[in-house]
Amino acid sequence: MGRVCRETYDQVVGNCNSIGCTNFTNCDDIQCNSFTNCDDIQCNSFTGCSWWNVPCKVARGICLAAAAIARGACWIARGVCVAAAAIALAACWVARAACVAAAAVARAACIAAAAVALVICRIANFLLDAVAFLVELILSIPIIGGIIRTILNWVTEVIWRVVGLVDFVGSLIGIRLRKKMYFGVIVPSVDSVPIVPDADIQRQVDAAIAFYDSSCNINLIFSGICHTDIPPPDAGLNFACDAGGFFNDWWLAGSYFELAAATCKFEDSFRRIIGLGAEIIVFIVQDVTGGKNGCSFASTHNYVVIEAKPTDQAFVAAHEMGHACWLSHVSDPANLMNPSTPAAGPILTNVQIALVRWSKHCVYF
Ligand SMILES: [Zn+2]
Protein backbone atom coordinates (compact mmCIF):
# COMPACT_ATOMS: atom_id res chain seq x y z
CA MET A 1 0.00 0.00 0.00
CA GLY A 2 3.15 2.13 0.14
CA ARG A 3 2.54 3.43 -3.37
CA VAL A 4 -0.28 5.61 -2.03
CA CYS A 5 2.41 7.38 0.03
CA ARG A 6 4.33 8.20 -3.13
CA GLU A 7 1.21 9.36 -5.00
CA THR A 8 0.20 11.62 -2.10
CA TYR A 9 3.78 12.91 -1.80
CA ASP A 10 3.92 13.80 -5.50
CA GLN A 11 0.62 15.68 -5.18
CA VAL A 12 1.72 17.57 -2.07
CA VAL A 13 5.09 18.49 -3.59
CA GLY A 14 3.23 19.75 -6.65
CA ASN A 15 1.25 22.04 -4.34
CA CYS A 16 4.44 23.05 -2.50
CA ASN A 17 6.05 24.07 -5.77
CA SER A 18 3.13 26.32 -6.56
CA ILE A 19 3.93 28.45 -3.50
CA GLY A 20 5.31 31.74 -4.85
CA CYS A 21 5.27 35.47 -4.21
CA THR A 22 2.36 36.96 -6.11
CA ASN A 23 2.48 40.41 -4.50
CA PHE A 24 4.51 43.50 -5.39
CA THR A 25 4.78 42.46 -9.03
CA ASN A 26 4.11 45.92 -10.47
CA CYS A 27 6.75 47.98 -8.65
CA ASP A 28 7.94 49.48 -11.92
CA ASP A 29 4.52 51.05 -12.39
CA ILE A 30 5.13 53.35 -9.42
CA GLN A 31 5.94 56.73 -10.99
CA CYS A 32 5.16 60.38 -10.47
CA ASN A 33 2.63 61.24 -13.15
CA SER A 34 1.57 64.60 -11.70
CA PHE A 35 2.92 68.12 -12.29
CA THR A 36 4.27 67.17 -15.70
CA ASN A 37 3.09 70.35 -17.45
CA CYS A 38 4.65 73.05 -15.23
CA ASP A 39 6.09 74.82 -18.26
CA ASP A 40 2.59 75.33 -19.59
CA ILE A 41 1.86 77.73 -16.73
CA GLN A 42 2.20 81.06 -18.47
CA CYS A 43 0.50 84.44 -18.44
CA ASN A 44 -1.45 84.67 -21.67
CA SER A 45 -3.51 87.75 -20.74
CA PHE A 46 -2.93 91.47 -21.26
CA THR A 47 -0.74 90.83 -24.27
CA GLY A 48 -2.09 93.59 -26.43
CA CYS A 49 -1.71 96.69 -24.14
CA SER A 50 -1.31 100.02 -25.94
CA TRP A 51 1.77 102.05 -24.99
CA TRP A 52 -0.39 104.63 -23.18
CA ASN A 53 -2.53 102.09 -21.26
CA VAL A 54 -0.64 102.02 -17.95
CA PRO A 55 -3.19 99.97 -15.96
CA CYS A 56 -3.01 97.28 -18.63
CA LYS A 57 0.80 97.25 -18.42
CA VAL A 58 0.65 96.95 -14.63
CA ALA A 59 -1.84 94.08 -14.87
CA ARG A 60 0.44 92.35 -17.37
CA GLY A 61 3.36 92.68 -14.99
CA ILE A 62 1.35 91.20 -12.10
CA CYS A 63 0.10 88.38 -14.34
CA LEU A 64 3.66 87.49 -15.46
CA ALA A 65 4.91 87.54 -11.87
CA ALA A 66 2.02 85.37 -10.67
CA ALA A 67 2.65 82.87 -13.47
CA ALA A 68 6.35 82.73 -12.57
CA ILE A 69 5.51 82.07 -8.92
CA ALA A 70 2.97 79.38 -9.86
CA ARG A 71 5.51 77.74 -12.20
CA GLY A 72 8.11 77.69 -9.46
CA ALA A 73 5.65 76.12 -7.03
CA CYS A 74 4.76 73.53 -9.65
CA TRP A 75 8.41 72.60 -10.13
CA ILE A 76 8.90 72.21 -6.39
CA ALA A 77 5.80 69.99 -6.17
CA ARG A 78 7.12 67.93 -9.11
CA GLY A 79 10.43 67.44 -7.33
CA VAL A 80 8.65 66.25 -4.18
CA CYS A 81 6.42 63.93 -6.23
CA VAL A 82 9.37 62.37 -8.11
CA ALA A 83 11.32 61.87 -4.87
CA ALA A 84 8.29 60.28 -3.15
CA ALA A 85 7.78 57.94 -6.12
CA ALA A 86 11.45 56.89 -6.02
CA ILE A 87 11.17 56.10 -2.31
CA ALA A 88 7.94 54.13 -2.85
CA LEU A 89 9.58 52.25 -5.75
CA ALA A 90 12.56 51.24 -3.61
CA ALA A 91 10.25 50.18 -0.76
CA CYS A 92 8.24 48.10 -3.20
CA TRP A 93 11.37 46.29 -4.45
CA VAL A 94 12.52 45.58 -0.90
CA ALA A 95 9.07 44.20 -0.05
CA ARG A 96 9.15 42.10 -3.23
CA ALA A 97 12.55 40.63 -2.34
CA ALA A 98 11.29 39.81 1.17
CA CYS A 99 8.14 38.23 -0.28
CA VAL A 100 10.14 36.10 -2.76
CA ALA A 101 12.52 34.97 -0.02
CA ALA A 102 9.62 34.12 2.33
CA ALA A 103 7.94 32.09 -0.44
CA ALA A 104 11.19 30.18 -1.10
CA VAL A 105 11.50 29.35 2.60
CA ALA A 106 7.85 28.27 2.77
CA ARG A 107 8.33 26.12 -0.35
CA ALA A 108 11.42 24.41 1.05
CA ALA A 109 9.70 23.81 4.41
CA CYS A 110 6.66 22.38 2.62
CA ILE A 111 8.78 19.95 0.58
CA ALA A 112 10.83 18.95 3.63
CA ALA A 113 7.66 18.26 5.63
CA ALA A 114 6.28 16.19 2.74
CA ALA A 115 9.52 14.18 2.58
CA VAL A 116 9.34 13.43 6.31
CA ALA A 117 5.67 12.44 5.96
CA LEU A 118 6.61 10.20 3.01
CA VAL A 119 9.19 8.33 5.09
CA ILE A 120 6.75 7.88 7.99
CA CYS A 121 4.00 6.81 5.59
CA ARG A 122 6.30 4.27 3.94
CA ILE A 123 7.45 2.79 7.20
CA ALA A 124 3.85 2.50 8.45
CA ASN A 125 2.72 0.93 5.19
CA PHE A 126 5.67 -1.41 5.06
CA LEU A 127 4.70 -2.70 8.49
CA LEU A 128 1.07 -3.11 7.38
CA ASP A 129 2.18 -4.92 4.21
CA ALA A 130 4.54 -7.11 6.22
CA VAL A 131 1.73 -8.18 8.56
CA ALA A 132 -0.55 -8.76 5.57
CA PHE A 133 2.22 -10.79 3.91
CA LEU A 134 2.29 -13.11 6.92
CA VAL A 135 -1.49 -13.44 6.70
CA GLU A 136 -1.12 -14.31 3.02
CA LEU A 137 1.37 -17.05 3.86
CA ILE A 138 -1.35 -18.56 6.05
CA LEU A 139 -3.89 -18.07 3.28
CA SER A 140 -1.63 -19.98 0.88
CA ILE A 141 -1.97 -23.15 2.96
CA PRO A 142 -4.03 -25.61 0.89
CA ILE A 143 -7.69 -26.17 1.81
CA ILE A 144 -7.97 -24.27 5.11
CA GLY A 145 -6.12 -21.21 3.76
CA GLY A 146 -8.08 -21.40 0.53
CA ILE A 147 -11.45 -21.53 2.28
CA ILE A 148 -10.57 -18.59 4.54
CA ARG A 149 -9.38 -16.69 1.46
CA THR A 150 -12.63 -17.26 -0.42
CA ILE A 151 -14.70 -16.14 2.56
CA LEU A 152 -12.45 -13.11 3.19
CA ASN A 153 -12.61 -11.98 -0.44
CA TRP A 154 -16.41 -12.16 -0.54
CA VAL A 155 -16.91 -10.57 2.88
CA THR A 156 -14.66 -7.62 2.03
CA GLU A 157 -16.37 -7.28 -1.35
CA VAL A 158 -19.83 -7.11 0.23
CA ILE A 159 -18.68 -4.71 2.97
CA TRP A 160 -17.15 -2.26 0.50
CA ARG A 161 -20.17 -2.55 -1.81
CA VAL A 162 -22.43 -1.55 1.10
CA VAL A 163 -20.11 1.33 1.99
CA GLY A 164 -20.00 2.47 -1.64
CA LEU A 165 -23.75 2.27 -2.27
CA VAL A 166 -24.15 6.04 -2.67
CA ASP A 167 -21.28 6.10 -5.14
CA PHE A 168 -22.98 3.32 -7.11
CA VAL A 169 -26.21 5.32 -7.33
CA GLY A 170 -24.16 8.38 -8.33
CA SER A 171 -22.49 6.41 -11.14
CA LEU A 172 -25.89 5.15 -12.28
CA ILE A 173 -27.25 8.68 -12.70
CA GLY A 174 -24.08 9.79 -14.45
CA ILE A 175 -21.94 11.30 -11.68
CA ARG A 176 -18.64 9.63 -12.54
CA LEU A 177 -15.73 11.39 -10.95
CA ARG A 178 -12.30 10.01 -11.74
CA LYS A 179 -11.56 6.78 -9.84
CA LYS A 180 -8.52 4.55 -9.98
CA MET A 181 -7.96 0.83 -10.12
CA TYR A 182 -4.67 -1.04 -9.97
CA PHE A 183 -3.77 -4.12 -11.89
CA GLY A 184 -0.59 -6.07 -12.42
CA VAL A 185 0.49 -9.12 -14.37
CA ILE A 186 2.28 -12.21 -13.07
CA VAL A 187 3.94 -14.55 -15.54
CA PRO A 188 5.06 -18.01 -14.43
CA SER A 189 8.18 -19.59 -15.82
CA VAL A 190 8.67 -23.16 -16.94
CA ASP A 191 12.30 -24.30 -16.82
CA SER A 192 13.25 -20.69 -16.01
CA VAL A 193 11.67 -19.40 -19.23
CA PRO A 194 8.58 -17.13 -18.98
CA ILE A 195 5.68 -18.89 -20.68
CA VAL A 196 4.88 -15.84 -22.83
CA PRO A 197 6.96 -12.86 -23.98
CA ASP A 198 6.14 -9.48 -22.38
CA ALA A 199 5.24 -8.03 -25.78
CA ASP A 200 2.21 -10.33 -26.06
CA ILE A 201 0.99 -9.19 -22.64
CA GLN A 202 1.50 -5.48 -23.31
CA ARG A 203 -1.23 -5.57 -25.96
CA GLN A 204 -3.77 -6.70 -23.35
CA VAL A 205 -2.48 -4.12 -20.86
CA ASP A 206 -2.75 -1.19 -23.28
CA ALA A 207 -6.23 -2.24 -24.42
CA ALA A 208 -7.51 -2.51 -20.82
CA ILE A 209 -6.08 0.88 -19.77
CA ALA A 210 -7.55 2.66 -22.78
CA PHE A 211 -10.91 0.93 -22.40
CA TYR A 212 -11.54 1.66 -18.70
CA ASP A 213 -10.30 5.21 -19.12
CA SER A 214 -12.67 6.07 -21.95
CA SER A 215 -15.72 4.05 -20.91
CA CYS A 216 -15.74 4.29 -17.08
CA ASN A 217 -13.51 7.32 -16.28
CA ILE A 218 -11.25 4.95 -14.36
CA ASN A 219 -7.51 5.53 -14.23
CA LEU A 220 -6.37 1.92 -14.60
CA ILE A 221 -2.87 1.94 -13.14
CA PHE A 222 -0.57 -0.82 -14.32
CA SER A 223 1.85 -2.01 -11.63
CA GLY A 224 4.02 -3.97 -14.04
CA ILE A 225 4.82 -7.50 -15.13
CA CYS A 226 6.35 -9.78 -12.51
CA HIS A 227 8.10 -13.00 -13.52
CA THR A 228 7.69 -15.43 -10.65
CA ASP A 229 10.10 -18.28 -10.10
CA ILE A 230 7.66 -20.22 -7.94
CA PRO A 231 7.08 -23.44 -9.90
CA PRO A 232 3.43 -23.57 -11.00
CA PRO A 233 1.43 -26.78 -10.49
CA ASP A 234 -0.22 -28.15 -13.61
CA ALA A 235 -3.62 -26.75 -12.54
CA GLY A 236 -2.00 -23.32 -12.40
CA LEU A 237 -0.75 -23.60 -15.97
CA ASN A 238 -3.74 -25.33 -17.53
CA PHE A 239 -6.61 -23.60 -15.80
CA ALA A 240 -10.06 -25.15 -15.71
CA CYS A 241 -12.74 -22.44 -15.69
CA ASP A 242 -15.45 -24.55 -14.09
CA ALA A 243 -16.38 -26.04 -10.71
CA GLY A 244 -13.13 -28.02 -10.81
CA GLY A 245 -11.19 -24.80 -11.32
CA PHE A 246 -13.08 -23.20 -8.45
CA PHE A 247 -12.07 -25.99 -6.08
CA ASN A 248 -8.52 -26.05 -7.46
CA ASP A 249 -8.24 -22.63 -5.87
CA TRP A 250 -8.51 -24.34 -2.48
CA TRP A 251 -5.77 -26.77 -3.44
CA LEU A 252 -2.33 -26.41 -5.05
CA ALA A 253 -3.25 -23.95 -7.82
CA GLY A 254 -4.77 -21.52 -5.30
CA SER A 255 -1.73 -21.87 -3.03
CA TYR A 256 0.51 -21.14 -5.96
CA PHE A 257 -1.48 -18.05 -7.03
CA GLU A 258 -1.59 -16.73 -3.47
CA LEU A 259 2.12 -17.27 -2.85
CA ALA A 260 3.14 -15.79 -6.20
CA ALA A 261 0.92 -12.75 -5.53
CA ALA A 262 2.33 -12.32 -2.01
CA THR A 263 5.93 -12.34 -3.24
CA CYS A 264 5.39 -10.50 -6.54
CA LYS A 265 3.04 -7.81 -5.24
CA PHE A 266 4.23 -7.23 -1.68
CA GLU A 267 3.34 -3.53 -1.85
CA ASP A 268 -0.31 -4.42 -2.35
CA SER A 269 -0.49 -6.99 0.46
CA PHE A 270 -2.39 -4.90 2.99
CA ARG A 271 -4.93 -3.73 0.44
CA ARG A 272 -5.47 -7.32 -0.75
CA ILE A 273 -6.33 -8.37 2.79
CA ILE A 274 -8.72 -5.48 3.50
CA GLY A 275 -10.04 -5.60 -0.07
CA LEU A 276 -10.40 -1.85 -0.60
CA GLY A 277 -8.36 -0.76 -3.62
CA ALA A 278 -6.89 -4.24 -3.95
CA GLU A 279 -4.94 -4.70 -7.14
CA ILE A 280 -6.47 -7.05 -9.70
CA ILE A 281 -3.77 -9.55 -10.57
CA VAL A 282 -3.78 -10.95 -14.05
CA PHE A 283 -2.11 -14.35 -14.03
CA ILE A 284 -0.88 -15.59 -17.37
CA VAL A 285 -1.56 -19.28 -17.94
CA GLN A 286 -0.68 -21.58 -20.77
CA ASP A 287 -4.22 -22.69 -21.40
CA VAL A 288 -7.70 -21.98 -20.11
CA THR A 289 -9.34 -25.30 -20.82
CA GLY A 290 -12.63 -25.66 -22.68
CA GLY A 291 -11.61 -23.39 -25.56
CA LYS A 292 -11.65 -20.25 -23.43
CA ASN A 293 -9.10 -17.42 -23.38
CA GLY A 294 -9.49 -16.32 -19.77
CA CYS A 295 -11.30 -16.93 -16.50
CA SER A 296 -12.51 -15.11 -13.40
CA PHE A 297 -14.57 -16.24 -10.44
CA ALA A 298 -15.80 -12.70 -9.62
CA SER A 299 -15.00 -11.77 -6.03
CA THR A 300 -13.74 -15.22 -5.09
CA HIS A 301 -10.17 -14.24 -6.01
CA ASN A 302 -8.16 -11.08 -6.33
CA TYR A 303 -6.84 -12.56 -9.56
CA VAL A 304 -8.08 -13.40 -13.01
CA VAL A 305 -6.27 -15.64 -15.47
CA ILE A 306 -5.75 -15.15 -19.17
CA GLU A 307 -3.87 -16.76 -21.98
CA ALA A 308 -1.78 -14.21 -23.82
CA LYS A 309 -1.34 -15.52 -27.29
CA PRO A 310 -0.82 -13.08 -30.14
CA THR A 311 -3.92 -14.58 -31.76
CA ASP A 312 -6.18 -13.83 -28.79
CA GLN A 313 -8.40 -10.73 -28.83
CA ALA A 314 -6.74 -7.70 -27.21
CA PHE A 315 -9.58 -7.17 -24.71
CA VAL A 316 -9.42 -10.52 -22.89
CA ALA A 317 -7.75 -8.99 -19.80
CA ALA A 318 -10.27 -6.11 -19.79
CA HIS A 319 -13.11 -8.67 -20.07
CA GLU A 320 -11.82 -10.79 -17.17
CA MET A 321 -11.33 -7.67 -15.04
CA GLY A 322 -14.99 -6.91 -15.78
CA HIS A 323 -15.91 -10.29 -14.27
CA ALA A 324 -13.74 -9.50 -11.24
CA CYS A 325 -15.89 -6.38 -10.79
CA TRP A 326 -19.16 -8.38 -10.93
CA LEU A 327 -19.99 -8.15 -14.61
CA SER A 328 -21.53 -11.28 -16.11
CA HIS A 329 -21.87 -12.30 -19.73
CA VAL A 330 -24.28 -10.50 -22.07
CA SER A 331 -25.45 -11.42 -25.55
CA ASP A 332 -24.76 -8.09 -27.30
CA PRO A 333 -21.80 -8.91 -29.61
CA ALA A 334 -20.45 -5.33 -29.26
CA ASN A 335 -20.36 -5.55 -25.46
CA LEU A 336 -17.06 -6.16 -23.66
CA MET A 337 -18.81 -8.88 -21.67
CA ASN A 338 -19.96 -10.92 -24.66
CA PRO A 339 -18.45 -14.40 -24.18
CA SER A 340 -16.51 -13.76 -27.40
CA THR A 341 -14.83 -10.49 -26.56
CA PRO A 342 -15.20 -7.95 -29.40
CA ALA A 343 -12.03 -7.46 -31.42
CA ALA A 344 -12.29 -3.66 -31.35
CA GLY A 345 -14.31 -0.85 -29.79
CA PRO A 346 -16.14 -2.81 -27.06
CA ILE A 347 -18.85 -1.03 -25.06
CA LEU A 348 -20.45 -1.30 -21.62
CA THR A 349 -23.99 -0.40 -20.60
CA ASN A 350 -24.76 2.26 -18.00
CA VAL A 351 -25.46 -0.38 -15.33
CA GLN A 352 -22.26 -2.28 -16.17
CA ILE A 353 -20.20 0.91 -15.83
CA ALA A 354 -21.79 1.62 -12.43
CA LEU A 355 -21.08 -1.97 -11.30
CA VAL A 356 -17.40 -1.74 -12.21
CA ARG A 357 -16.99 1.64 -10.50
CA TRP A 358 -18.72 0.19 -7.41
CA SER A 359 -16.20 -2.67 -7.10
CA LYS A 360 -13.85 -2.78 -4.10
CA HIS A 361 -10.97 -2.65 -6.58
CA CYS A 362 -12.05 0.78 -7.82
CA VAL A 363 -11.30 3.62 -5.42
CA TYR A 364 -10.83 7.38 -5.18
CA PHE A 365 -7.57 7.26 -3.24
ZN1 LIG B 1 -16.17 -14.12 -19.59
| 10-residue mean pLDDT series, the chain (365 residues) | 83 92 88 87 86 86 89 90 91 92 94 94 94 95 95 96 97 96 95 91 95 98 94 93 90 95 94 95 94 92 90 92 97 96 94 97 95
Burial of 337 (0-12, 13-18, 19+ CB in 10 A): buried
pLDDT, one tens digit per residue, over 253-294 is 999 999 999 999 999 999 999 999 999 999 999 999 988 999
Q: Could you give the CA distance from residue 34 to residue 109 in angstroms, rounded to a whole number?
A: 45
Instruction: List the one residue out of 269, 183, 259, 271 whose CA is nearest residue 223.
Output: 183
Report how far ligand 1's centroid is from the alpha carbon of 327 (Å): 9
Report how far ligand 1's centroid is from the alpha carbon of 320 (Å): 6
Please tell me the predicted confidence (pLDDT) of residue 218: 98
Report how far ligand 1's centroid is from the alpha carbon of 227 (Å): 25
What's the CATH code, domain 140-363? 3.40.390.10
pLDDT, one tens digit per residue, over 126-172 is 999 999 999 999 999 999 999 999 999 999 999 999 999 999 999 99
Q: What is the rounded radius of gyration, in angstroms, for the C-alpha atoms of the chain?
A: 37
Please tell me the predicted confidence (pLDDT) of residue 3: 79
Q: Where in the chain is the domain with CATH 3.40.390.10?
A: 140-363
Report how far ligand 1's centroid is from the alpha carbon of 319 (Å): 6
Report how far ligand 1's centroid is from the alpha carbon of 9 (Å): 38
Report how far ligand 1's centroid is from the alpha carbon of 117 (Å): 43
Report yes or no: 75 and 68 within 8 Å, Cβ to Cβ: no
Give the contacts of 201 (CB within 8 A, at least 6 positions apart): 185, 187, 225, 284, 308
pTM of the complete model? 0.78
Q: Could you give the CA distance from residue 228 to residue 297 in angstroms, rounded to a whole number?
A: 22
Q: Could you give the CA distance from residue 146 to residue 127 in angstroms, rounded to a whole number?
A: 24
Please tell me the predicted confidence (pLDDT) of residue 1: 62
Report how far ligand 1's centroid is from the alpha carbon of 337 (Å): 6
Report how far ligand 1's centroid is from the alpha carbon of 293 (Å): 9
Cα torsion 138, 141, 147, 149: sign: positive
Amino acid at 161: R
